[in-house]
Amino acid sequence: MSSFKRTWTEQQLENIVGNLLRVGVMLAAVVVFGGGVLYLIRHGAISPDYRVFHGEPADLRSVSSIVTDALALQSRGIIQLGLLLLVATPIARVAFSLFAFAQQRDRTYLIVTLVVFTLLLYSLLGGYL
């Protein structure tokens, strides 16, 4: 029953995945917090308006324009970049699994992971359904 054996490399794999997820979440939280402080200093005195749905402006909807906004130190852009890092964390985990299954020469799971990875990228970059 070789399938029941937990090899050393598998243990190592679990450690890398665990660290990847932790670092991703922490990094995202730091960026969101930084942007949040800036946002509250700049816009804290205005009254919020979330009762009616307007949708976000175009520059907060796509990956490239969010990065542009964040680099221009716009507070909402920085928060959105942090949220984007958060969304990217599980995607990075899938990308790493892709690499790991390729190294293990596990064709079945390489295809499985590739399907999931493609769906995630389609959602984030392809956008409109």
Partner 1 sequence: MNILEFSALIWLGSLVAGLLGALTGLGGGALLVPFLTLVFKVDMRYAIGASLISVIATSSGAAAAYVKEGFTNMRVGMFLEIATTLGALLGAFLAARIPTSAIAIIFGLVLLHSAYLSSRPLPERLDNDQPDPLATRLRMNSTYPSPHGLQAYYVHAVPRGFGIMGLAGALSGLLGIGSGAVKVLAMDQAMRIPFKVSTTTSNFMIGVTAAASAGVYLNRGYIDPGLSMPVMLGVLLGSLLGARLLVRAQTRLLRIIFSAVIVVLAIQMIYHGVTGRL
Residues 6+ apart with CB under 8 A from 98: 110, 113, 114, 117
Which of 29, 67, 95, 102 forms a contact with partner 1 (CB under 8 A)?
A: 29
The label of the residue with tokens 């299954």 reads: 101
Please state, in angstroms and as integers, the Cα–Cα distance from residue 99 to each residue in 90, 111, 116, following that order.
14, 12, 14
Which of 8, 51, 64, 105 forms a contact with partner 1 (CB under 8 A)?
A: 51
102 near partner 1, rule: CB under 8 A: no
72 near partner 1, rule: CB under 8 A: no
Dihedral Cα 89, 22, 105, 112, nearest 10 deg: -40
127 near partner 1, rule: CB under 8 A: yes
Amino acid at 50: Y
> What is the SS3 assignment for 51?
coil
Which of 25, 67, 95, 102 forms a contact with partner 1 (CB under 8 A)?
A: 25
> What is the SS3 assignment for 62?
coil
Kindly state the smallest distance separating residue 68's Cβ from partner 1, in Å: 15
Give CA–CA dist 94/67, Å, rounded: 23
115 near partner 1, rule: CB under 8 A: yes
Footprint of partner 1 on this chain (CB under 8 A)?
1, 3-4, 6, 11, 13-15, 17-19, 21-22, 24-25, 28-29, 32-33, 35-36, 39-40, 43-48, 50-53, 55-57, 60-62, 75-77, 79-80, 83-84, 86-91, 93-94, 97, 108-109, 112-113, 115-116, 119-120, 122-125, 127-129
